[in-house]
Amino acid sequence: MSTMAIRVLLVCLLLLTFPPLTVWGQNSPDRPPDSQHSQEEGVADRILNPFSDLWLLSMQSEFQWHDGQITDKKRLVNITLIQPVMPVALTENWRMVVRPVIPFASFPFSGFDYEEGPKGPIPRPNFDRHSGLGDMVLWTAFTNMYTPPNVFGFGPTMMLPTGSYRTLTTGKFNLGPMAAALHTGNKWIFGVVAQHWWTVTGDSSRSHVNLTDVQYVLRYRLTPFTNIGCSPNMRVNWVADGRNRLTFPIGFGGETLIKLGPLPVRIGTEFHYYPITPEVAGPQYNLKLTLTPVIPAPGWSRRPLF
């Protein structure tokens, strides 16, 4: 079992020691008061809403097979994301959702070695594997439209240069806007979560960041608890040339809501194929596994702060 998988398993075991939750109650500001849903269906609805009042601990592990001009064969990249989702009521009508993204990566590239050639040094890629912390992302969304079926929020996002190795970090402090808009109906769920980062400051020897990340969501609900579809992330690196700028996946998978002891937990898997990927080196395929327990929310987070 990999180090990343062990970390995720330990977190899950710790969560099972929490006391029973009160999220099963039907009185929620995120559903009309005359809703006839069962308590379990209510949680299933709210866990699909990125601006609900639920506190979540989203954990995601991706296994990507990379290939390209500088690689000698397909090489496996593993990225595990720990993403707590922490909504807080600001006023009677406005809500703030704080979502840090903490990445742990295992990356089969440690830079270039140089060999002397007839016209000077020749770069040779070094495929020693580096594993460690990547650059953390923090986005904070503000919303007064958090009641389904149509929800919307916006705010700032920042990328911090926290990577353990040079190959796991941009070396820059990056800042920009984010916005999310989703339709979470009884049958269809669709929408986008978009972020963009520009470099503010950082290592002057590293390239500036001008990066867009868009997660598009398209799902169909087979039951109140189970849905099929996809939610992959496309990226545009605006400082790269045209052949290496866009990373665009398509895919398919499913997820469902279960209970582990007292905890409602959403589990899922998706497989992605990348018809458009950077030519120098980029992902070709991706297997994504997700685990999202509902965690106890402090009482103050649901009472307006102002």
Rounded to whole angstroms, the Cα distance separating 10 from 278 reads 35
pLDDT average, residue stretch 251-274 = 94
230, 251 contact by CB (below 8 A): yes
Q: For the segment 38-72, what is each residue's pLDDT rounded down to a tens digit?
A: 777 888 889 999 999 999 999 999 999 988 887 87
Other beta carbons within 10 angstroms of residue 92's beta carbon come to 9
Q: Residue 17: which pLDDT band, with cuts at 50, 70 and 90? A: very low
- Report the C-alpha dihedral over residues 34, 39, 45, 50, rounded to 10 degrees: 100
More confident residue, 236 or 13: 236
pLDDT for the residue numbered 261:
83
Q: Residue 104: which pLDDT band, with cuts at 50, 70 and 90? A: very high
The domain limits of the chain are 3-302
pLDDT for the residue numbered 263:
86
Residues of the chain with pLDDT > 90, as a percent, come to: 65
Q: What separation, in Å, do the N-terminal and C-terminal C-alpha atoms of the chain show? A: 47
154, 123 contact by CB (below 8 A): no
3-302: CATH number: 2.40.160.40
